[in-house]
Structure 1
Amino acid sequence: MPLSRATLASYLPILTWVRSYDRDMATSDLVAAVIVTVMLIPQSLAYALLAGLPAEMGLYASILPLVAYAIFGTSRALAVGPVAVVSLMTAAAVGQLGLTEPAQIAQAAVTLAFISGLFLVLLGVSKLGFLANFLSHPVIAGFITASGVLIAASQLKHLLGVGASGHTLLEMLISLGEHLTEANLITLAIGGATLAFLFWVRTGLKPLLLRAGLGPRMADVLAKAGPVAAVAVTTLLARAFDLGAHGVKLVGDIPSGLPPLSAPSFSPEMWSALLMPAILISVIGFVESVSVAQTLAAKRRQRIDPDQELIGLGASNVASALSGGFPVTGGFSRSVVNFDAGAETPAAGAFTAVGIGLATLLLTPLLYFLPNATLAATIIVAVLSLVDFSILGKTWRYSMVDFAAVTATIVLTLLVGVEVGVTAGVLLSIFLHLYKTSKPHVAEVGLVPGTHHFRNILRHRVETRPEIVTLRVDESLYFVNARFLEDYVLNRVAASPELRHVILMFPAVNEVDMSALETLEEINRRLAELNIQLHLTEVKGPVMDRLKRSHFLDELSGRVFLAQYDAWCALEAAAPLGTEQKDLAAQ
């Protein structure tokens, strides 16, 4: 059966925006592409270094993946490519394999991108984008903060020109201390000067250019070109003074030409070792990417499709694998620059790919003398913007549970490693959800005098009656929290021998699963044995539909009321409540 045009367009978003593409859009996209290309060239090289891979793989990962996202992605501003956190996770995943041959290491990174891409596409086709919602924002913020610290620490060896190693913060610091006496002063001078220059460029260059009379657009372009200037100047210095002969580590030969077609390894052993890291990289990359995409789309009153974003990012990773790259995702800083530069459609990404392709063809011989210290400084400046320890203070003041989860994520990431940290973050996010919903908020409510409203007796001055108790349930009921409700009701009944009516108020209950239904039946049975009637009020239509398909309503000792005030008036009047009076209101 052939696909309809609408179905085809849903899987190929390019068919939606390309029909209205015009010269003005093309001009805006080209300008944005030039700015992002200038920014992406040094970043691509630096993130390949961070991932422990040859520099050219960073450029390869910035060409075909951008084209794939332009075809399959739904965000008009998201800029896909290598990013710091995913590069760090790639280094950790490939490093655990114990490979020593550069070709084997490169193929492992390609395989990692391929597995990640397949996993993302599978999630997208299965419409499972909602799974990202199980990752709490505080936990993700904690993981990214810890990763930023780890990334910055991992680059200190390049600033010092020493051969330190380690995968955790403690290992890195100990190794740096052991090799500190081997530091190369020229390397340190280059790295330190580049670091200071890039920090100044981020905050001071654009205002200076504006005061000099340049327009905002040109000032922005020149400010974003700061890393390119640092690369050019330090490369020229290294060549002019033959700094490589003085112990300064250089990038060396970078093959010219477009990315070669490559194939992942299909070794069962490698797939087994890389499967879990690939899943973690996919989850973290998708959460980071979709958060940026949604934020930027909202500013222009546009929308993205999370499930199609999974397909777009998956296709980008598969494209990266087939062109000799490593895992990619949507980058925050690049996407913001792309947005601010005026990108109108995903074609801006395709134009950026052309720019990176030209750089790969023409500029790579010029990068032979590029010092590694320059790339390290570029990485440090980029990732320190990710570090935000204020999340600890925010969660401390707001929720001790969230604070404990964030703290555990940060500590484990720093002291044990990236994979343990991100795994802990995922598990803690799920645990937090289950913990919070396992103890739903249940409030005993009473009538606000002179109104038809019912409020918490602990927060408001309300009317109550000793023979009636109303419990408002503020959470859907399912297998995790059903037992909690049963214990709560029976404990409340045990504390008041005079009770004759228990009302469960359900305005916030959107779901009652089978376990919760059995719990309600048990509550009804236990209360009936105590000569207490159970009533329900403000039951939502879908929940009522479910209850009607069971025997619960037939066996209910009390009634179902449309409104809580109706139940209050009926029970206050002490009307006989036989089974023939049940009002199964259709809501």
Structure 2
Amino acid sequence: MNKFTQFLPILQWGRTYSRAALFNDTVAAVIVTIMLIPQSLAYALLAGLPPEAGIYASIAPIVLYAIFGTSRALAVGPVAVVSLLTASSIAQIADQGTAGYAVAALTLAFLSGVFLVLLGVLRLGFLANFLSHPVIAGFITASGILIGTSQLKHILGVNAQGHTLPEMLMSIFSQLDQINGITVALGTFATAFLFWARGNLKPLMQRLRAGPLVPDLVAKGGPVFAVLATTLAVWAWDLADRGVSIVGDVPQSLPPFTVPGLSTELVGALLMPAILISVIGFVESVSVAQTLAAKKRQRIDPDQELIGLGAANLGAAFSGGFPVTGGFSRSMVNFDAGAETPAAGIFTAMGLAIAAIALTPLVYFLPKATLAATIIVAVLSLVDLSILKKTWIYSRADFVAVATTIFLTLGAGVEVGVASGVAISVVLHLYKTSKPHVAEVGLVPGTQHFRNINRHDVETVSSLVTLRVDESLYFVNARFLEDLIQNRVTEGCAIRDVVLMFSAVNEVDYSALESLEAINARLIDMGVGLHLSEVKGPVMDRLGRSHFLEKMNGDVFLSQFDAWNRLIEAR
């Protein structure tokens, strides 16, 4: 049974499901459904797909995640960054509005789902750690700017194109003479109202003493009010005949069964974008899931999260959707609304299914400018340019990584930005570990503690040098330690012993072992003893499987204080 519950978390929370949980999950589902209807339509627009694709992508994926996912509050569906990546990836393959474009979106979701499930089955969730937080923050900030800029064409009523910030701005400026004033008025009203509603609608309802649930429902329904107001305006005054772009016909049906395209050419073109979308989506989703889980002292399994997200994307691929992941805003709303189990997601899917059947005719006159306003208001919370100042103050290397990621994402496109972010993260890690911090330490008077001679007033002995290695040793930094010891020992002839303090060393790979052997051989030629202290058990076990300890011209000490006493006495 444990094996089944590991891969089917629904069996864990489902056995203890209560009436209280049912009530809380239902209330949360109502609130989230109200928010998701306009949001799903908007993200489909951002992805370059028909509006119904956004609703379809929010039904089957939510249900599948509830079965396979481990987070109690994560809400899965279309999100801004993944929608932008979807549009950017497919635009290079097919023209927007064609059948080939929709098939490519299904294929992208399918490949992403397969990749995520494969990572989960192989327990490779740790690979997401290769994207550093500063790089992720830089990419998301740049993506927020790109997304907001890309929606200006709908606010202005022009047909601008482009995938990079310069291309978008140049295209918009070249069509300023074609701006539709009515569309601008609708878009400006919707944007201003949504900004106002975010911070003022709930307090207003509370002042009116509307009850405990009504303020939340009304506040989360801000986009719905904007949709209703602008849709009624377009219908009442025939604004569609005056150049206002509207959503138009939306199929009145449940998600259809769809089949992704699996031609070699299409898969080859979308494989790398699918991997990038998977990594970005997983990092965003697992961050949100861990944050929410910590608030209730719960835990999530990152590897099982991969399987849950993979199943959700496979569901999207076979139900007319596009790539999905766990969204921050919808998950926070789900959590704040009191969701206790993933059943809230299932109830949300049921609400969206009802909307897909019964409510889609009502959005015929919905102006695209309102959907664009919904996206702009949602993504501006992603933009955090303060990360540049923070990293500049704290770490110049991280600042370079953030600035480069932002610059490349804005100037060369999201795919280049993601790829460069991954590359920068790996290079940054290798750079930092290639020059490990190695401190020469001495004895703090009156204690058994050793500290950096450049930071503390400590005792030293001219014949003894102790180097504390503050990093695991592997092929990237092994030579660095060789050169450092070589330079230190040749400074004078008084040195008779070198002690490597390994208290912070968690691993020594074979390249580092060869470097240690080379260091030992050189010190033997110089008549200098090489010793180790405070070696951790796993490291000692591995060294014991080699001939290094037998050939070492010195001893291994349990503590640095023992080494200090023994070597001073011996000399």
- What is the distance in 2 between the residues matched to 1:548 and 1:184? 77
Match of 1:70 in 2: 66
Match of 1:403 in 2: 399
1:302 aligns with 2:298: yes
- What is the distance in 2 between the residues matched to 1:82 and 1:500? 66
Residues 311-365 of structure 1: CA distance to partner in whole angstroms, max 9, x if unpaired?
0000000000100000000000100010010100001001000000000000001
Paired amino acid for 1:383: V
1:165 aligns with 2:143: no
1:358 aligns with 2:354: yes
1:329 paired residue among 310, 325, 328:
325
Paired amino acid for 1:390: S
Match of 2:136 in 1: 140
Match of 2:84 in 1: 88
Q: State the secondary structure of the residue aligned to 1:261.
A: coil
Match of 1:580 in 2: none
Segments of 5+ residues of structure 2 without an aligned counterpart are none
Count of residue correspondences: 571
Paired amino acid for 1:459: R
Measured after TM superposition, the shift of residue 100 of structure 1 is: 5.5
Residues 485-532 of structure 1: CA distance to partner in whole angstroms, max 9, x if unpaired?
111111111112210000000000010111111110110000000000
- What is the distance in 1 between the residues matched to 2:99 and 2:546? 63
TM-score, normalised by the number of residues in structure 1: 0.97
Measured after TM superposition, the shift of residue 201 of structure 1 is: 0.3
CA contact 2:48–2:97 (8 Å) conserved in 1: no
Match of 1:420 in 2: 416
1:550 aligns with 2:525: no
- What is the distance in 2 between the residues matched to 1:38 and 1:294? 25
1:489 paired residue among 485, 492, 496:
485
Q: State the secondary structure of the residue aligned to 2:116.
A: helix
Give 1:90-169 correspondences, 5 Å limit.
90-99=86-95, 102-169=98-165
Q: State the secondary structure of the residue aligned to 2:174.
A: helix
- What is the distance in 1 between the residues matched to 2:95 and 2:106? 14
Relative distance call for 1:100 and 1:235 in structure 2 (3 A) is closer
Residues 85-113 of structure 1: CA distance to partner in whole angstroms, max 9, x if unpaired?
00000000010114355211111101100
1:261 paired residue among 257, 260, 276:
257
2:337 paired residue among 322, 325, 341:
341
Measured after TM superposition, the shift of residue 209 of structure 1 is: 1.3
Match of 1:285 in 2: 281
Paired amino acid for 1:280: L
Residues 365-419 of structure 1: CA distance to partner in whole angstroms, max 9, x if unpaired?
1110000000000000000000000000000000000000000000000011000
Match of 2:507 in 1: 511
Paired amino acid for 1:238: V
1:472 aligns with 2:442: no
Give 1:560-579 correspondences, 5 Å limit.
560-574=556-570
Match of 1:531 in 2: 527
Q: State the secondary structure of the residue aligned to 2:504.
A: coil
1:179 aligns with 2:175: yes
- What is the distance in 1 between the residues matched to 2:214 and 2:297? 27
Match of 2:386 in 1: 390
Paired amino acid for 1:329: T
Measured after TM superposition, the shift of residue 215 of structure 1 is: 3.2
- What is the distance in 1 between the residues matched to 2:74 and 2:335? 8
Paired amino acid for 2:140: I
CA contact 2:94–2:100 (8 Å) conserved in 1: no
Paired amino acid for 1:331: G
- What is the distance in 2 between the residues matched to 1:28 and 1:208? 24
2:428 paired residue among 429, 432, 439:
432
Give 1:302-321 correspondences, 5 Å limit.
302-321=298-317
- What is the distance in 2 between the residues matched to 1:144 and 1:216? 35
1:273 aligns with 2:269: yes
- What is the distance in 2 between the residues matched to 1:236 and 1:99? 32
- What is the distance in 2 between the residues matched to 1:572 and 1:101? 81
Q: State the secondary structure of the residue aligned to 1:76.
A: coil
Match of 1:223 in 2: 219
- What is the distance in 2 between the residues matched to 1:38 and 1:220? 11
Q: State the secondary structure of the residue aligned to 1:535.
A: strand
Match of 1:582 in 2: none
Measured after TM superposition, the shift of residue 208 of structure 1 is: 1.3
Q: State the secondary structure of the residue aligned to 1:53.
A: coil
Q: State the secondary structure of the residue aligned to 1:470.
A: strand
Paired amino acid for 1:213: R
- What is the distance in 2 between the residues matched to 1:190 and 1:369? 13
CA contact 2:86–2:323 (8 Å) conserved in 1: yes
Paired amino acid for 2:493: P
- What is the distance in 2 between the residues matched to 1:188 and 1:495? 74
CA contact 2:49–2:96 (8 Å) conserved in 1: no
69-78 or 209-218, which deviates more: 209-218
- What is the distance in 1 between the residues matched to 2:211 and 2:508? 60
Residues 48-89 of structure 1: CA distance to partner in whole angstroms, max 9, x if unpaired?
000010000000000000000000000000000000000000
- What is the distance in 2 between the residues matched to 1:483 and 1:183? 63
Give 1:42-81 correspondences, 5 Å limit.
42-81=38-77
Paired amino acid for 1:442: V
- What is the distance in 2 between the residues matched to 1:357 and 1:435? 51
Paired amino acid for 1:418: V
Paired amino acid for 2:157: G
- What is the distance in 1 between the residues matched to 2:198 and 2:394? 32
Match of 1:521 in 2: 517
- What is the distance in 2 between the residues matched to 1:449 and 1:388? 48
Give 1:446-465 correspondences, 5 Å limit.
446-465=442-461
- What is the distance in 1 between the residues matched to 2:493 and 2:334? 68
- What is the distance in 2 between the residues matched to 1:317 and 1:215? 38
1:252 paired residue among 248, 253, 266:
248
Q: State the secondary structure of the residue aligned to 1:264.
A: coil
Relative distance call for 1:339 and 1:138 in structure 2 (3 A) is same
- What is the distance in 1 between the residues matched to 2:7 and 2:491? 59
Q: State the secondary structure of the residue aligned to 1:455.
A: strand
Measured after TM superposition, the shift of residue 559 of structure 1 is: 0.6
CA contact 2:38–2:223 (8 Å) conserved in 1: yes
Measured after TM superposition, the shift of residue 216 of structure 1 is: 4.3
Measured after TM superposition, the shift of residue 214 of structure 1 is: 2.4
Q: State the secondary structure of the residue aligned to 2:62.
A: helix
Paired amino acid for 1:441: H
Q: State the secondary structure of the residue aligned to 1:279.
A: helix
Percentage of matched positions with identical amino acids: 68
- What is the distance in 1 between the residues matched to 2:387 and 2:213? 34
Measured after TM superposition, the shift of residue 128 of structure 1 is: 0.2
- What is the distance in 2 between the residues matched to 1:186 and 1:241? 11
Q: State the secondary structure of the residue aligned to 1:573.
A: helix
Q: State the secondary structure of the residue aligned to 1:444.
A: strand
Paired amino acid for 2:84: L
Residues 558-579 of structure 1: CA distance to partner in whole angstroms, max 9, x if unpaired?
110000000100111125xxxx
- What is the distance in 2 between the residues matched to 1:100 and 1:348? 34
Q: State the secondary structure of the residue aligned to 1:251.
A: coil
Residues 125-155 of structure 1: CA distance to partner in whole angstroms, max 9, x if unpaired?
0000011111100100000000000000000
